[in-house]
Amino acid sequence: MTVLCSFLISVLAAADFQTVGAIKSHRVQDDRVEFAAENALLNIYLISSDMVRFRYTQRSEFSEAPSYAVVASPGSFRDFTLVEEEQYFEIRTADLMVRIRKNPCRIAIYDRNSRAINEDDESFGVCFDCDEVRCFKKLLDDEQFYGLGEKTGALDKRGNQYTMWNSDKPGYSDREDPLYVSVPFFIGVREHKAYGIFFDNSYRSCFNMGASNRRFYWFGADKGELDYYFLYGPQIQDVISSYTALTGRMELPPLWALGYQQSKWSYYPESTVRALAQEFRERKIPCDVIYLDIHYMDGYRVFTWDKERFPDPGRILSDLNAQGFKVVPIIDPGVKADDGYFVAQEGLAGGYFARYPDGEVYQGEVWPSWAYFPDFSRPETREWWGEKLSAFVNQGVSGFWNDMNEPAVWGQAVPDIVEFCGGVSHKKIHNVYGLLMAQATFDGLRRHFPQRRPFILTRAGFAGTQRYAAVWTGDNIAREDHLRLACVMCQGMGLSGLPFVGADVGGFIGNPSQRLYTRWVQLGAFTPFFRGHSATGQQDKEPWAFGEEVERRVRDAISLRYRLLPFWYAEFYRAAQTGLPVMRPMFLNYQQDENCYSRDAQFQFMLGEDLLVAPVLGEHDDFKKVYLPGGKWLDFWTGEVREGGHWTVEEAPIDRIPLFVKEGGIIPMQEVAQFVGEKTARELSLVVFPTASGRYSLYEDDGVSCDYRSGVYSLTDFTVAQDGQSLSFKVERRHQGYQPQREHYLLKFFDISALSEVQLDGVPLAAAAEEPPAAPGYFFDARHHAVVVKVPCADTLEIIIK
Ligand code: GLC
């Protein structure tokens, strides 16, 4: 046996395969403990009591290169102890114990009750194979994995292997990997307890979550350091909050970006765009944004307009703005290699493009034919790009759509030797190219228009992209499997720190049936980013293109989105604050409920805490299997109260999808508007599903400026409390930096079977004869067990229902 082992070891050594080896020395330095082992250096940084960074290198020192993903400044956390025993070291914080075995060096992490949370594989731990780095972790039988960004397949990534290499995959399959975005972060869940691992390495990397073996899972990269952060939960929500504290959070987008958006490759000429805008308004289908795809440009030259198709861009943009439309043009990174074109000339003169190591500027082929690629890793390039964008904003565009920024080129293989940032190879920059382009766009807009909230949509991205942009899931297909993918992928991306996500509604490639299109809009209306888009050469996919019945249903779905905008906006505010997604897998809110992890549960989701959305994802289905977690649930459509804790099959006729309000839920709504800012909402209606106690905090501000950052916003708390005798509902404005122009509240309390009196601040209200009451008062709808109360707005008020 000994002979065999030493033979194996010598074979491994000959194959350049090395593990870390035994620890030789250590020292404590401020916030970290530094270990020197036989074959590598290991630094362990204590970031907080529940976050630890492990960093290994085989070089003589650690790289000084900054992280593209991490924005949290190095902390000053010192609240840990290090103890040395004969066999191991132990680092303890208030929440964690990290045991570092000496020989061979292996990591095991325990919670404060000494329960093992995560351990290196006994034999491998961290390994090196020439440039390649890998970390092997013990795989437990019941361990599930979530996250990893934009990935196809089921929400649970267990049993599969994934690659991080941003890729342009038009018409991808429902198992395709990789796609456009790389987020090397995942959440491990065991016995309903969670931890996260963020592998901060932008080279091509790989995550084997127990594919083809049951011994370990591993992650690793072609090159770079084995540098990962361990984030302890045990709440999944805490893991995501920690991850986004590290890599940044979404800023609050302009409110109009939560409205419906219409795109197509491409709307042109100008008369077509005008007609499109007119149709929306005439047909009373709400819409806030129109996209201009690549045909608006002069020969696909970015920052130009085709003079024949759009002779006077300033005029059409201002006319559309006057109709309440924002216009978002596409901006690809490829700059046409054309001597007479000012962007190419400026880029060459400024040295802003990526180059080969011999100094020649790299050219790849994409829409404009041969093109140069801006080196967004250089601050000078980002600044220059920002100036170009600002000229466009001054003409009247409201945001930017960054596409093809994987970067995509025909042939899909930018040569690896192409250099960025004065010598950093494409191997390292590829996965962060989209992130850096979005950063250039965001920073440019911030710099030139400090009072406006930037809106950016990107296709490619990396960990941290949430700081700059919304993401859509690229070139999907008008097929049922892609409708399901849209539902599941958006949830997976939300778990990966990207809350502002959506898929092309209706499917980019192919022609959906009437039913598929309808179901897609009904789902899209509940995804954070809500845009209809279509490839060139397909049938029309605007809401009226499928006949009158479809148009009516689609109008209803989009209108419901607009009625719910106060709710969406408050949920976006919370996502910006906490990093948690708006569109949440069931288990994120019900972590202890086993049913919420089941395969079927991934086809429904929660919006925030209070709304359960069960989209119909089968083209021909008129029903939906739904899991209602324990507690009572209010059917949003009928007002019927349901007992949860089991699966049910709900009727879902083609005009609606099942929606439920959680017990204690309070859902703010408003009248439909045709676009954000069309009119001042005089009334805020609230759906209230009373329980022993419930609460909702409504966030409001002007929706466009950055004044909210200096306190110009309003936070209003609504609370409901019920005992056997009476129900109390209170309004309290907690933060009053912004004054909504509202006149009254229209409150609809459900699950009320009898009442004798309704009081406002101790004074009885008059009973009204109709719903809604025309004046302050209440209407009791005995048949639906609901009371509708209309009261004037006030900063504080209390309604008692006896
Ligand atoms: C890419 C984009 C798609 C766009 C097309 C033309 O395929 O993913 O959304 O319409 O390019 O610009």
| SS3 of the chain: helix, strand, coil, percent, to 5 | 25, 30, 45
Q: Closest ligand 1 atom to the C-alpha of 535?
A: 10
Residue 31 has pLDDT above 80, yes or no: yes
Distance CA 495, CA 670 (A): 29
Per-residue pLDDT tens over the stretch 384-425: 999 999 999 999 999 999 999 999 999 999 999 999 998 999
Q: Find residue 129's DSSP bridge partners.
A: 17, 132
Per-residue pLDDT tens over the stretch 716-768: 999 999 987 899 999 999 999 999 999 999 999 999 999 999 999 999 999 99
User: What pTM did the predictor assign?
Assistant: 0.97
379 CA to centre of ligand 1 in angstroms: 27
Instruction: Using most ligand atoms within 8 A of CB, pick from 179, 264, 266, 293 the residue to mutate for ligand 1.
Output: 293
Known catalytic membership, residue 403:
yes
Q: Closest ligand 1 atom to the C-alpha of 170?
A: 7
The three-point CA angle 415-417-420 to 5° equals: 105
What radius of gyration, in Å, describes the C-alpha atoms of the chain?
A: 28
Residue 367 tokens, joined: 């829409």
Closest residue CA from atom 3 of ligand 1: 475
Residue 692 has pLDDT above 90, yes or no: no
Residue 603 has pLDDT above 80, yes or no: yes
138, 124 Cβ separation under 8 angstroms: no
Closest residue CA from atom 5 of ligand 1: 265
Average pLDDT of every residue of the chain:
96
Mean pLDDT of 81-108: 98
Ligand 1 contacts (CB < 6 A) are 170, 265, 293-294, 330, 403, 459, 474-475, 533
Please state, as a whole number, how many other Cβ atoms lie within 10 Å of the Cβ of residue 639: 18
Distance CA 416, CA 436 (A): 18
Distance CA 509, CA 479 (A): 9
- Quick one: pLDDT band at residue 15, thresholds 50, 70, 90? low
164 CA to centre of ligand 1 in angstroms: 21
Q: Closest ligand 1 atom to the C-alpha of 474?
A: 8
189, 197 Cβ separation under 8 angstroms: no
Closest residue CA from atom 7 of ligand 1: 475
391 CA to centre of ligand 1 in angstroms: 23
103 CA to centre of ligand 1 in angstroms: 53
560 CA to centre of ligand 1 in angstroms: 28
492, 151 Cβ separation under 8 angstroms: yes
Please state, as a whole number, how many other Cβ atoms lie within 10 Å of the Cβ of residue 658: 24
249 CA to centre of ligand 1 in angstroms: 26
545 CA to centre of ligand 1 in angstroms: 21
Please state, as a whole number, how many other Cβ atoms lie within 10 Å of the Cβ of residue 301: 20
Residue 10 has pLDDT above 70, yes or no: no
Mean pLDDT of 593-605: 98
- Quick one: pLDDT band at residue 30, thresholds 50, 70, 90? confident
pLDDT at 74: 75
6 CA to centre of ligand 1 in angstroms: 56
Distance CA 267, CA 274 (A): 10
- Quick one: pLDDT band at residue 16, thresholds 50, 70, 90? confident
Nearest CA-CA partner of 180 in 415, 369, 483, 437:
437
Pairing of strands 41-48, 641-643: unpaired
Please state, as a whole number, how many other Cβ atoms lie within 10 Å of the Cβ of residue 649: 10
Residue 326 has pLDDT above 60, yes or no: yes
Per-residue pLDDT tens over the stretch 464-508: 999 999 999 999 999 999 999 999 999 999 999 999 999 999 999
Known catalytic membership, residue 475:
yes
467, 249 Cβ separation under 8 angstroms: yes
Q: CB-side exposure of 770: number of CA atoms within 13 Å?
A: 2
Q: Which amino acid is at 512?
A: P
Catalytic residue among 200, 403, 480, 663: 403
Instruction: Using most ligand atoms within 8 A of CB, pick from 168, 291, 330 the residue to mutate for ligand 1.
Output: 330
Known catalytic membership, residue 406:
yes
Q: Closest ligand 1 atom to the C-alpha of 504?
A: 9
pLDDT at 11: 45
Closest residue CA from atom 10 of ligand 1: 265
Whole-number percent of the chain with pLDDT over 70: 98
Instruction: Using most ligand atoms within 8 A of CB, pick from 294, 302, 401, 403 the residue to mutate for ligand 1.
Output: 403
Per-residue pLDDT tens over the stretch 247-304: 999 999 999 999 999 999 999 999 999 999 999 999 999 999 999 999 999 999 999 9
Catalytic residue among 156, 475, 504, 650: 475
Q: Closest ligand 1 atom to the C-alpha of 408?
A: 1
Residue 47 has pLDDT above 90, yes or no: yes
Catalytic residue among 156, 406, 480, 593: 406
